[in-house]
Amino acid sequence: MLKKYLLFGSVAFVLASCGGDSGPKDPDPGPTPVEVKITLKGSGGDETKGFVMAEDVVSDVTESTARIVGTFANLDPADPILDHGHVWSSSDNPTLANTKSALGARAAAGSFGTDVKDLEPNKTYFVRSYITTKNGTAYLPKVASFTTKPKEEPKPQAPEYYTQKVMIEQVTGGWCGWCPVGKWQIKDLMAKKPGTVVGVAIHYGDPLENRSAHDFLNKAYGISGYPGGMVNRVRSASSADIMMYPTEWPGTVEKVLNKPKANVGLSVKTTFDAASNRLTVDAKVGFGKEANPKLTYYVTAYLLEDDLAADQANYLSGDGRFKTYEPYYSLPGKIAGYKHNEVLRRAFPAMSGEEIPKEISTKPGSEYTGQFQVGTSGYASDKCSVVVFITSADSPSAKRRVENVQFMKLGESKDYD
């Protein structure tokens, strides 16, 4: 047996190691913990030599914490431990003058652990075990070291930009002979710009009427005639009107889509429970890199239904000015049982929407999550769809514009795009 002696002041450490020989060798048992025999020498000259400890093991290192485990392989009953634990510092060879975990007296061999906290990110620390008896304090000769992880900056939940989409809200009625102009324009725009444009038909004065939605829009924007409609509730590209005639819609759609990247977007999941006839909409509103912090934002959902039969007056019938407005040009002046689509059935949680807290909307990359539910009794779920949209205003009394929109069938979902 070979012995190496290291002297540290009045404390002597004896490191035991095995010498080799020329005889047969046993199979390699693999790595084993290095044990260190610790000798304490008191001021009176008496010595204690019965302490054996294993090297400290560092684990679970984060940007501010770490776990340190030391082990007593053997204790000296003749010299009771009054205190033990770990000391650590950003400087080598830490002592009790640095930070310590005072774990108190100990009477049995085995492991002991310290949860080191309040460390600085991306910094190297040194740690070692210590024991204190009546003969003084000794430190494990080998100092363990570790480096905390760098601080991770919070990652934005939401994308920086979104695809700009358009919602056309048309006020219409079966009694309105010119309203097929609006129906034709919506169908044409949706066909030319699939996945980008969605129409909503808000009926008034007929069996499909949604009086509360109609009155809300009339009070907020003013309905000057039928058919009329709004394109993302912005002013017409050819006039100052927000509620505009259908022939103004194409130019205004192009005006909105001229900026293809929006600063606010939606991720929507819809769940339909057929047993309870209940629709649940989970909507996430993402605020991008250039979202306007001065605006107040709101989120609203519409429940639409297609294929609803109701008579429709048709002034386009046989009128040479509307030969391209098929099928209305070829249909009679009164279309019995006409199938209406994109009919607004319910707005939820309300036409005014749910306000998004400023502490979310003012932070680029932030995300608002809202869940809305609505009953669907009396509606054909396989004919229904959902439109979720974001509106904004710079004051509570200001007219709101539509920032962006998502639309899908019941049970479908749309991620940010």
Tell me the per-residue pLDDT of 180-189, one tens digit each, with 9 for 90 and over.
Answer: 999 999 999 9
Same domain, 325 and 242: yes
Q: How much is the average pLDDT of 100-113?
A: 95
Residue 403 falls inside a structural domain: yes
d(CA 35, CA 71): 9
Same domain, 168 and 300: yes
Residue 209 falls inside a structural domain: yes
pLDDT of 5 higher than 60: no
What residues contact residue 238 under an 8 Å CB cut-off, 6+ apart? Answer: 248, 251, 252
Residue 157 falls inside a structural domain: no
Domains contained in the chain, number: 2
Q: Which domain holds residue 394?
A: 162-414
Q: Determine how many CB atoms are found less than 10 A away from the CB of residue 74.
A: 12
Distances (CA, A) of 130 to 42, 70, 110, 356: 16, 9, 14, 55
Nearest Cα to 169, choosing from 248, 216, 252, 232?
232
What is the token pair recorded at 222? 């003013």
Question: Considering 147, 182, 213, which residue would you say is the last residue of a domain?
Answer: 147
- Whether cis (ω within 30° of 0) applies to the bond prior to 349 is yes
Q: For 13-27, 203-217, 313-327, which range has the lowest pLDDT when averaged over its residues?
A: 13-27
What is the token pair recorded at 304? 């639409």
pTM given for the model: 0.66
Residue 77's pLDDT is: 87
pLDDT band of residue 241 (cuts 50, 70, 90) is: very high
pLDDT of 170 higher than 90: yes
Q: Determine how many CB atoms are found less than 10 A away from the CB of residue 267.
A: 21
DSSP 81: B
Same domain, 135 and 177: no
Question: Considering 124, 147, 170, which residue would you say is the last residue of a domain?
Answer: 147
d(CA 38, CA 70): 14
The residue behind tokens 């991720």 is 267
Same domain, 310 and 361: yes
pLDDT of 12 higher than 50: no
* Mean pLDDT, rounded, of the chain: 89
Residue 156's pLDDT is: 66
Q: Choose between 41 and 100: higher pLDDT.
A: 100
pLDDT of 33 higher than 60: no
What is the token pair recorded at 82? 């009054």
Residue 152 falls inside a structural domain: no
Same domain, 64 and 171: no
Same domain, 227 and 364: yes
- Whether cis (ω within 30° of 0) applies to the bond prior to 364 is no
| Beta pairing class for 166-172 and 197-203 | parallel
What is the token pair recorded at 266? 């939606």
In percent, the amount of the chain with pLDDT more than 90 equals 79
Same domain, 90 and 172: no
88 pairs with which residues across the strands? Answer: 99, 127
Buried b (16+ CB within 10 A) or exposed e, 143-165: bbebebeeeeeeebebbbbbebb
pLDDT of 15 higher than 50: no
Same domain, 226 and 100: no
Same domain, 193 and 95: no
pLDDT band of residue 71 (cuts 50, 70, 90) is: very high
Q: For 108-117, 153-162, 253-262, 275-284, which range has the lowest pLDDT when averaged over its residues?
A: 153-162
Output the domain CATH number for residue 134.
Answer: 2.60.40.10
Residue 283 falls inside a structural domain: yes
